[in-house]
Amino acid sequence: MTENLIVFNARLVTPQGFSARCGKEMGELLVMDNATVEVTDGIITYVGPNRGEERDGYYQHYWHYNARGRCVLPGFVDSHTHFVFGGERAEEFGWRLKGESYMSIMQRGGGITSTMKATRDAGYIRLRSKAEDFLKQMNHMGVTTVEGKSGYGLDKETELLQLKVMRSLASDEHRRVDVVPTFLGAHAVPPEYQGRTDEYVDYLIRDVMPVVKEQGLAEFCDVFCEEGVFSIEQSRRLLATASDMGFVLKLHADEIVSLGGAELAAELGAVSADHLLHASDQGISRMAEAGVVATLLPLTAFALREPYARGREMIDAGCAVALATDLNPGSCFSGSIPLTFALACIYMHLTVEEAITALTLNGAAALRRADRIGSIEVGKQGDMVVLMNDNFHFLPYYIGMNCVHTTIKGGVIYPT
Ligand code: NIG
Ligand code: FE
């Protein structure tokens, strides 16, 4: 569904450009008062000062939205989530509160494997309706594009099922959120391959990835590159093959220990390396040189009581940093955009302007969509967020509370 819309009397707040913003460019936003954004058939056709045409009948075939001085930003892009899954893991959260670590729960057969079982049991309808509920909640916080990963099937049938749920949500005519699917078959080793990780990688390469590609079910291929999960060598083998098949690469890198995932992302030309809590100095400079988007997920560090990724240092080293939620049932059962803003600014020392770029244009770049979304510019999709007032500093300041008044998707207005 696309529409014609004119938004006027806006305080426009947007990064500018059609590719990722790196280093200090991340802090450069265009802020314009008394601005108008015109959207025709879902695409932005004018951005600039109010022209007054809304008063004289020129816009007969447009919906009119008077922003009354409120901030209007690009729709937020949540470029790393696992929002399609069965079951929950509240008991595991309780064990972690008592001091058990994320990895020790995983090693004794809980963690991702427990969600795998629930996902295999859930079936299409239950998976889809739960995922759709998450999309609605995200949209209320200003998200207009979300990436979602498979990785809770860990067998061909259920991996494909998760991706088909995303495809169906992505093609819903009334969708408020665009959905971008990623294949993450290498999320954990399923029980049937326990102790045979290399054979599981072979299975993914031989039996699953070609089908995902053939059916056009995922654009990206990701791997949980971590000590005790998939080694650097196994990740390299899987991702190099994925790249040959035409997938664009992503990595869960250096989340629990400093393994060299950031370096591997740079070596393989991945579009993004994600988490990076323990990325080395060398990994940071390699990402900056290779143009890998450093996707930081502060809600996960918060929920796991781990130190935050070195966001400030990454930006100062010239990286393009994106922020995302990592919504998943285990390490981070939250898709809170407001809390992501607050943690990024308070603990990772991003400025508000940088955090806005990280959740819009750089998130779009992490999904190879910076040419289409992520800023309010002529030629891009009419995806916007209207805040409750004229002060964009509310985004981190209003801690954990939602200051989004309205979201606009392809020129269609959705009050929250
Ligand atoms: O991004 N670390 C690996 N994957 C997810 C967690 C998945 C889960 O625990 O279910 C993450 O943190
Ligand atoms: Fe993740």
Q: Ligand 2 centroid vs 245 CA: distance in angstroms? A: 23
**d(C-alpha 406, C-alpha 63), whole Å:** 15
pLDDT tens sequence across 38-88: 999 999 999 999 998 666 677 888 999 999 999 999 999 999 999 999 999
Query: Does residue 349 contact residue 311 with C-beta atoms inside 8 Å?
Result: yes
Instruction: Flag whether pLDDT at 1 surpasses 70.
Output: no
pTM of the model: 0.97
- The whole-number pLDDT of residue 416 equals 73
- Is 111 near ligand 1, meaning CB less than 6 Å away? yes
Helical (H) or strand (E) element with 235:
helix 232-245
Determine the pLDDT at residue 175.
Answer: 87
CA of 98 to the centre of ligand 1 (A): 20
Task: Kindly state if the Cβ of 328 falls inside 6 Å of ligand 1.
Answer: yes
- What local confidence, expressed as pLDDT, does residue 3 receive? 86
Regarding the beta carbon of 252 and ligand 1, being less than 6 Å apart is answered: yes
> In terms of Cα–Cα distance, which of 189, 134, 184 is closest to 162?
184
Give the environment of ion ligand 2: residues with CB less than 5 A: 326
Mean pLDDT (the chain) is 96
Distance 291 CA to ligand 2 centre (A): 21
CA distances from 364 to 63, 145, 215 (A): 27, 8, 24
- Is the per-residue pLDDT at 415 higher than 80? no
Query: Is 312 a residue whose pLDDT tops 80?
Result: yes
Q: pLDDT at position 60, please? A: 82
Atom of ligand 1 nearest to the CA of 115: 10
* 250: nearest Cα among 268, 269, 264, 270: 270
Output the CA 185–ligand 2 centroid distance in Å: 12
pLDDT at 221 over 70: yes
Q: Is the pLDDT of residue 266 over 90?
A: yes
Is the beta carbon of 224 within 6 A of some atom in ligand 1? yes
Residue whose CA is closest, atom 6 of ligand 1?
Answer: 331
Element (DSSP H or E) covering residue 283: helix 281-290
Q: Cα angle vertex 175, ends 173, 177, to 5°? A: 145
The whole-number average pLDDT for the span 130-144 is 97
Assess whether pLDDT exceeds 80 at residue 237: yes
Whose atoms come closest to the Cα of 116: which ligand?
A: 1
Hey, which residues does 250 pair with through a beta bridge? 272
Given a contact cutoff of 8 angstroms between Cβ atoms, the answer to whether 323 and 283 are in contact is: no
Query: What's the distance, Cα to Cα, between the start and end of the chain in Å?
Result: 18
CA dihedral 167→161→200→232, nearest 10 degrees, is 30
Determine whether the shortest distance from the Cβ of 300 to ligand 1 is under 6 A.
Answer: yes
Tell me if residue 353 falls in helix, strand or coil.
helix
Distance CA 329, CA 84 (A): 10
- Which domains are seen in the chain, by residue range? 5-75+372-415 (2.30.40.10), 76-365 (3.20.20.140)
pLDDT (average), residues 8-24 = 98
Q: What pLDDT score was predicted for residue 56?
A: 66
Residue 312 alpha carbon to ligand 1 centre in Å: 24
DSSP state letters, 89-118: -HHHHHHHHTT--HHHHHHTT-THHHHHHH
150 lines ligand 1 (CB under 6 A): no
Q: Closest Cα to atom 12, ligand 1: which residue?
A: 331
Q: Based on the number of CB atoms within 10 Å of its own CB, is 99 exposed (0-12), middle (13-18) or buried (19 or more)?
A: exposed
Crossing angle of the two packed helices 112-122 and 124-140, in degrees rounded to 10: 120
Q: Name the residue at shortest CA distance from atom 11 of ligand 1.
A: 331
User: One-letter amino acid identity for 163?
Assistant: L
The pLDDT, as a whole number, for residue 54 is 66
Please list the residues that pair with 296 across neighbouring strands.
323
Span from the CA of 72 to the centroid of ligand 1 (angstroms): 33
- Return the best residue to mutate from 114, 115, 223, 224 for the ligand 1 pocket (most ligand atoms within 8 A of CB): 224
Scan for tokens 């392809």, then name that residue.
Answer: 410
Q: Give residue 174's pLDDT.
A: 79
- CA-closest residue to ligand 1 atom 2: 224
- Asked whether the predicted pLDDT for residue 287 surpasses 90, the reply is yes
H or E stretch at 355: helix 352-359
Mean pLDDT, range 336-342, rounded to an integer: 98
Residue 300 CA, closest ligand 1 atom number: 12
pLDDT in tens, 179-197: 999 999 999 999 999 999 9
Share of the chain above pLDDT 70, in %: 98
At position 159, the amino acid (one-letter code) is E
Q: Cβ neighbours of residue 91 under 8 Å, at least 6 residues apart?
A: none
pLDDT surpassing 60 at residue 2: no
Going by pLDDT thresholds of 50, 70 and 90, the confidence category of residue 251 is very high
- For 141, 258, 369, the CA distances from 5, given in Å and listed in that order, are 21, 48, 22
Whether the CB of 331 sits within 6 Å of ligand 1: yes
- Kindly report the backbone phi and psi dihedral angles of residue 9, in degrees, each rounded to the nearest multiple of 5, phi listed first: 55, 40
Residue 361 DSSP class = H
